[in-house]
A and B are shown apart, each in its own frame.
Chain A
Amino acid sequence: MLFTWWDNGMFFGQAWADALVRLVIVVAFMTVTVMLLIWLERKLVARIQQRLGPTRTGPMGLLQSVADAIKLLAKEDLRPLTADRWVFELAPFVFFVPAFLTFVVLPFTDDLGIRAGLPLGLFFIVAVSSVSIVGMLMAGLASDSKYALLGGLRSVAQMISYELPLVLSVLSVAVMAGTMDLREIVRAQDRVPYLVWQPLAFFIFMTAATAELARRPFDLPVAESELVGGPHVEYSGIRWSMFMLAEYTNLLILSAFGSVMFLGGYAWPFGLDWGWPWQVALTFVKTTLLIVVFMWIGATFPRLRIDQLMAYAWKALIPLSFLQVLLTGLVKVYGWPDITITIPSALALVVSAAVVRKRLRYTVRRPREERLAYLRARAAARAAGSVQ
């Protein structure tokens, strides 16, 4: 056991004390980690962009996030006069709480986690993390700003669309493992991580997770050069910082989730016999790796357009993820060797990438004349009075 005050699987042996302690752990751990993540992103992106990043606050600018947090706390909490007061003020919490809740089921070692042994852990993460969408929508609607409204609607459309490939890609992992318990899924990977059997699913997961996090190239909801910040545009001070906190928490959660599902979590490559310090280190390294990949993608890719974004989800990612689930199911039902998943999966990944590449370079998009004709018909209908 890790802690001497651990009793019956509970802190202090009392349910309420246990809940309180776990709550404190979640909030304290997350807040500190998010501050480090923000520092990491600033430094990493600065290096990619040939800048230095923060240098003045503390050693290597480590205290930059602390300074930012103090500044944000001290700022006036502004609210537009015409905003819907309660919805506006509650939106950050609705966005923020689910992000922290998902932390509960993540296993960091074989016996360290808030509720790591939850039999439906996978289901819990998927279900709870999608509640965040409501917060975005509330923020967008309540701000009474057109940019915020557009951003809010975009984020809902985007997150609902990309929820599907995300869920389907982890579903095929669940089919592989035969369980939804995250700890069991990790234990099943002590020899070979699922990335090897499911390259397509891993790719779909990373893409969909980037979209779920609203990071580039899928940062349409907050598109700075178009919507000037999207749903957060009217927020300031502590409420704005809660949005940021939740965003980085989601980044951490999804990276940890990805490392558990595809990279073998704390089990691979050492196996389960190594002690918990090794397991923590493995989790840390893998999670950080995925976070850095997300940041790297974010620093170098431009932003997609909303119709391209939706088309990519519905026409490319969702059929591909169905294919992956089907393939995994077939192999499991007939008991074929696992390698029979890898080959078609990798092949599908390569072929789909080639198709996208070719389409972008050589096909002409639906010509503008069609859209213009559609607009003209709408205008005529409006003039004829058939439409308000």
Chain B
Amino acid sequence: MFPPLQEGPEEGSAGGKADRQAMIEHEYETVELNINMGPVHPATHGVFRAILTVDGELVVDVEPVIGYMHRGGEKLSENLDYRQGIGIQDRTEYLAQMNAEQAYCMAAERLGGIEVPERAEFIRVMCVELNRCASHFMFLGAYGQDIGTFGTAFTYAFRERERIMDLFEELTGERMMYSYFRVGGVAWDLPHGFERKVQQLLKHIRQGVADFEGLLTENEVFLARTRNVGAISKEKAIDYGLTGPMLRACGIPWDLRKEEPYSIYPRLEFNVPVGEQGDCWDRYKVRLEEIKESVKIVEQCLDMLPAGPIMPERMPRMLRLPAGEVYMRTENPRGEYGIYLVSRGGNKPYRLKIRSACFSNLAGLREMLVGEYVADAVAIIGSLDLVMCEVDR
């Protein structure tokens, strides 16, 4: 394999130069190295394994290995009635539980033709948007940790997330697995003085966003690590089926709350923040801006919150949906979260399929990662905002 060693031809002759060049290149040739990132690695957010092939410090190839968190949530749902199935949604999307519950309930409502009372819709949107804030704060903290801020970003983000979770605990009795929504409405009404507490919370969230702007957004090192890293073009993003902040960071203002308005979103005013070039910094920035928009939405909900029932009258004790199938999608913090529900007329779904946002976003990983540096692998995987439970379901 070694190029033949020659007594060098004269300086300046073409052969001699080329041969020497080949020898030099051979001398410094490095072999490709496989690095197994995960399944137990601090930057993989759950149990995710990426087999990186690196050439020096450049990533040549990446093979995502998923399935470590598969718990058969879809199959389980077939054996649980429509009320119990909500709990599975909590456990599938464990950072944006309310959003997942909403998708599930709305699918069942659409199939059964159930009208949700107005007050319940407002309460739902409020919870969903607060949960979006909590989820994005989780991303911000974890992303800061991935980039390497030694926990400062993490604690900043968790301060706000804890406040949101405290409020949800007061509302639902649970910190993580809320199971608060019901098909047709919500489980119970807001506790006394809840609105005032939400208003205080919004102040804290705004302050938290401002703190983050100061800590990371304009930080030189953060810019150096995330700008122009892991960029993906608009066309590729659509081809891979990226949704949510991943897609919006490329500059496409695709938000299901605007495109396919559901619930009371048409009555609310909010913007869809978009990025410019679809790199990690844009993804970070889009999520940060979305928190501000969510705060606006919750404020409007508080202003417009009507009185009235929270469940439709005459809901059957055991819900049976007519035979048929429905696909309902909502805008989750991570993208399009869809529920495909098939009913054969019983009190349980015949088949439930979850269209996971993270799964599709993860599909674009190779496109973003190949040709970048190894250290960027962490930044890029972090910017996907993965919830492995949702990927594997």
Contact = CB atoms under 8 A, between A and B. Distances in A.
Interface of A: 45, 48-51, 146, 150, 216-217, 219-220, 223-226, 228, 298-308, 356-357, 360-361, 364-365, 368, 371-372, 374-375, 378-379, 385-388
B221 A217 contact: yes
A380 to B, nearest CB: 13
A287 B260 CA distance: 62
A306 B57 contact: yes
Interface stretch (B26-34, B94-102, B124-132, B354-362): B26-34
A368 B380 CA distance: 14
Contact of A219 (B42, B148, B373): B148
10 contacts: A220-B375, A223-B148, A299-B152, A301-B221, A303-B375, A360-B223, A365-B227, A368-B371, A375-B60, A387-B1
Given A226-B375, A301-B149, A306-B57, 20 more contacts: A150-B374, A217-B221, A223-B148, A224-B148, A226-B43, A226-B374, A299-B150, A300-B215, A303-B147, A303-B149, A307-B373, A361-B227, A365-B229, A368-B371, A371-B372, A374-B58, A375-B55, A375-B60, A375-B371, A386-B22
Contacts of B154: 49
Nearest to B54: A150
Interface string B121-163: 0000000000000000000000011111111101110010000
Q: Output the residue of A225, A228, A385 with the most chain B CB within 10 A.
A: A225
Given A368-B372, A375-B60, A387-B29, A48 B152 contact: yes
B269 interface: no
A161 to B, nearest CB: 15
A372 B147 contact: no
A150 B56 CA distance: 10
A358 to B, nearest CB: 11
Top 10 A-B residue pairs of the complex, sorted by shortest distance between their CB atoms: A303-B148, A302-B147, A49-B155, A372-B371, A365-B228, A371-B371, A305-B375, A368-B371, A360-B223, A225-B43
Interface string B367-390: 000111111111000000000000
Contacts of A228: 41-42
Interface residues of B, number: 50
A305 B35 contact: no
A385 to B, nearest CB: 7
A364 B22 contact: no
Contact of B373 (A225, A305, A372): A305
A364 B228 contact: yes
B26 A387 contact: yes
Contact of A388 (B1, B155, B376): B1
Interface of B: 1, 3, 22, 26, 29, 31, 33, 35, 41-43, 55, 57-58, 60, 144-152, 154-156, 159, 215-216, 219-225, 227-229, 231, 370-378
Given A49-B152, A302-B144, A388-B1, A372 B370 contact: yes
A225 B42 contact: yes
Nearest to A382: B32
A213 B216 CA distance: 23
B35 A45 contact: no
A37 B82 CA distance: 58
B156 to A, nearest CB: 8
A370 to B, nearest CB: 9
Contacts of A379: 60
A371 B221 CA distance: 22
Contact of B375 (A51, A306, A357, A372): A306
B78 to A, nearest CB: 39
Nearest to B33: A146
Nearest to A311: B224
A226 B378 contact: yes
Contacts of B375: 220, 223, 226, 303, 305-306
A45 B159 contact: no
B41 A308 contact: no
Nearest to B375: A305
Q: Output the residue of A150, A216, A217, A364 with the most chain B CB within 10 A.
A: A217
Contacts of B31: 388
Given A303-B225, A305-B376, A225 B146 contact: yes
Nearest to B145: A225
A364 to B, nearest CB: 6
A18 B31 CA distance: 54
Contacts of A364: 228
Nearest to B155: A49
A221 B266 CA distance: 51
A375 B58 contact: yes
B35 A304 contact: no
Contact of A302 (B58, B156, B216): B216
A51 B29 CA distance: 49
Q: Output the residue of B151, B159, B220, B370 with the most chain A CB within 10 A.
A: B220
Contacts of B216: 302
Contacts of B147: 225, 302-303
A316 to B, nearest CB: 12
Nearest to B60: A375
B148 A308 contact: no
Contacts of A308: 224-225
Contact of B223 (A150, A217, A361): A361
Nearest to A359: B224
Contacts of B43: 225-226
Contacts of A356: 220
B148 A302 contact: yes
Nearest to A300: B152
A364 B279 CA distance: 12
Nearest to B377: A226
B150 to A, nearest CB: 6
A49 B156 CA distance: 7
Nearest to B2: A388
A306 B373 contact: yes
Contacts of A361: 223, 227
A224 to B, nearest CB: 6
B148 A217 contact: yes
B57 A307 contact: yes
Given A226-B43, A375-B371, A388-B29, A360 B148 contact: no
A48 B159 CA distance: 13
A305 B59 CA distance: 14
B33 A216 contact: no
Contacts of B231: 368
Given A49-B155, A51-B155, A146-B35, A300 B373 contact: no
A327 B336 CA distance: 60
